[in-house]
Amino acid sequence: MKLKFEEAISVPESERRSVADSIDFHTIEVEPQYTGARIEGDVVTLDFVKKMMEDFKNQKYLHKRYAFQIVLQTRELLQALPSLVDINVPNGSRFTVCGDVHGQFYDLLNIFELNGLPSEENPYLFNGDFVDRGSFSLEVILTLFAFKCMSPSAIYLARGNHESKSMNKIYGFEGEVRSKLSETFVELFAEVFCCLPLAHVINEKVFVVHGGLFSVDGVKLSDIRAIDRFCEPPEEGLMCELLWSDPQPSLGRGPSKRGVGLSFGADI
């Protein structure tokens, strides 16, 4: 009821000013006593990302000037992408797809320990649900975004059903961002999550999506490319099903246990 009331009195999406456009991180001063990772100029380097990850590992925070810089640069990169991104992996090269990280920063470090850091020679696709549930969602998302800024082709990011305002309110990300950074960052992340692509196709063969398939037959890749994704996920339709649907053991289609999207069998 509280959320519905807030929604009723809020400004409609179309009239809202982008919070990203109102931020100039260059004007934010870094106090002399700050000892954490620093970005020199506008370029996010591997040294910076390594230092930031080491700080996060020791549960230190990143200065909000650099956090703003990373998130705003990532937003620019993501905005330019289509809703369905094609990835080309040359013969003999490796490519790693990772499922939900859900705020487990130490698990993310473990993945990098076992499989190497993201780079052009060792690219990754993180397939949504970076945040919520775990206690280190902010550290996870800043690390993934920093790698994206460092080398856009080293890491691909897809939207999950948890990259949305309603989920972040309930499952912890919003509260975590508010306590570690500020209210402005809550709004900024919500904006940037709306820029994340919805699906990827690897070498014209492998379709990678956070949720699953559709309630209707005959959906083409061109239909997914045509989705205007720059919004909160709707409660039905292709974008909703891409984020929410699940496979089921039986054939055909069935209702989703989640109450959104659907369950689909091997024949679908």
- Domain count of the fold of the chain: 1
Q: Which domain holds residue 200?
A: 19-27+37-210
Catalytic residues: 162
In a domain, 258, yes or no: no
What pLDDT score was predicted for residue 148?
A: 98
In a domain, 106, yes or no: yes
Q: Report the CATH number at residue 112.
A: 3.60.21.10
Q: Amino acid identity, residue 235?
A: E
Whether residue 1 has pLDDT greater than 70: yes
Q: Pick the residue with more confidence: 70 or 5? A: 70
pTM of the model: 0.93
DSSP state of 162: T
In a domain, 58, yes or no: yes
Average of per-residue pLDDT values in the chain: 94
Whether residue 56 has pLDDT greater than 60: yes
**pLDDT per residue as tens digits for the range 110-165:** 999 999 999 999 999 999 999 999 999 999 999 999 999 999 999 999 999 999 99
Q: Amino acid identity, residue 163?
A: E
In a domain, 185, yes or no: yes
In a domain, 99, yes or no: yes
Cα–Cα distance for residue pair 196/157, rounded to 1 Å: 7
CA geometry: angle at 81 spanning 47 and 10, to 5°?
100
In a domain, 237, yes or no: no
**pLDDT per residue as tens digits for the range 22-45:** 888 989 999 999 999 999 999 999
